[in-house]
Amino acid sequence: MLTDPATAASGASAATAAPPPSGRGLRSRLGAGRAPWGRPVVRLAALASAVLALVATYLFTDVPGSLAFALEIRSLSVAAMLVVATSVGVSTVVFHTITQNRILTPAIMGFDAFYLLISTAIVFVAGSATFLAADALTLWLVQVVVMVAFSVTLFTWLFGGKRRSIHLMLLVGIVLGTFFRAFTEWMQRMLDPLDFQVLSDAMFASLTRPDELLLALTAGLVVLGCAGVVPLLRTLDVLTLGEPAAVGLGVDHRRVVMVLFGVVSVMVAASTALVGPILFFGLIVANLAYSYAGSFRHVWTLPTAVLIGMVCLLGGQLVLDRVFDFGGTLSTIIEFAGGLFFLYLVLRKGAR
């Protein structure tokens, strides 16, 4: 028997309209913001409390001598962590949105590789004595200026011109990054073992005992970068739809991407010059933020990424100090723990 197509169609749509009883339906309803835990503001507040608790633990426990002295030193470290977490969190999330790709970090543009190249080149050419004796401010300034100049050149060359291709820019970035790394490695092989020892200290991020002046300068640049991002928060949301849709909705894609990319370069360059290669945990932080934030909006994902970055850095530093007694590097701990957690998240959600 033939059924009337109209009835069949309305029947079908009524059936799909009813919320399915499966876990999928439950999750989407949570995401829609009915249950309190589904609301981004609640989630962010919970995360902020966790960070505060970690800060307190870091500052006030396991004090060997004078509390005042420990606080002075440790609060500087916490400040450095905040600066680094902000620059890594914000730059990675913004980079993901610009490139429409969530498995990249700005490291792909060769920031870390370039930083190592500059450090190695200084030691290689002038010797470790010069490297150690060099004025910290000069060194920082040189690093920042060269890194920003490099990325802006790459960007204007491959995005500012007629080509306007983000993917081409990324590809060239990868190739140059590989070249820098190979060149750095070659120079390192030629180094005196003593020089190499000095250099290898600069090869891993270190957040303890930052230079106060440089920390203040870096913080200034990071704040400036955030000030550049805040007016564009809603535009960033539109950019998640992709370039064609964003342009259709009246976003001046070229100008916005230029501004955002400039912000990313400055923030990343400043914090890398301060503490060493730091972008390693951007990928984990950003992706954890996407699944934790409960909203795709940058008003929520950006602060969430920053706070998760704080959790990683503080937690990693605590484990490094208290469990391994400074025997290791922060990046190893964060990448191991964060990587495992990230894998868990990905596998739990299935092939979404």
Would you tell me which residues interact with another protein (CB under 8 A)? 9, 13, 16-17, 24, 28-29, 31-32, 100-102, 233-235, 237-238, 240-245, 247-252, 290, 296, 352
- To another protein, the closest distance from the beta carbon of 247 in angstroms equals 6
Residue with tokens 């040189």: 142
Alpha-carbon span 336 to 345, nearest angstrom: 14
Q: Would you say 18 or 68 has its CB closer to another protein?
A: 18
Q: Would you say 13 or 138 has its CB closer to another protein?
A: 13
For 157-187, letters b (16+ CB in 10 Å) and e give ebbbeeeeebeebbebbeebbeebbeebeeb
- To another protein, the closest distance from the beta carbon of 330 in angstroms equals 30
Alpha-carbon span 287 to 271, nearest angstrom: 21
- To another protein, the closest distance from the beta carbon of 281 in angstroms equals 21
Query: What are the residue ranges of helices labelled H in 61-108?
Result: 67-99
Q: Would you say 215 or 293 has its CB closer to another protein?
A: 293
Contact residues for 342 (Cβ-Cβ < 8 A; gap 6+): 283, 284, 287, 288
- To another protein, the closest distance from the beta carbon of 301 in angstroms equals 9
Q: Would you say 9 or 149 has its CB closer to another protein?
A: 9
**φ and ψ at residue 277, rounded to 5 degrees:** -60, 120
- To another protein, the closest distance from the beta carbon of 348 in angstroms equals 16
Q: Which two tokens stand for residue 248?
A: 């259709």
Q: Would you say 38 or 127 has its CB closer to another protein?
A: 38
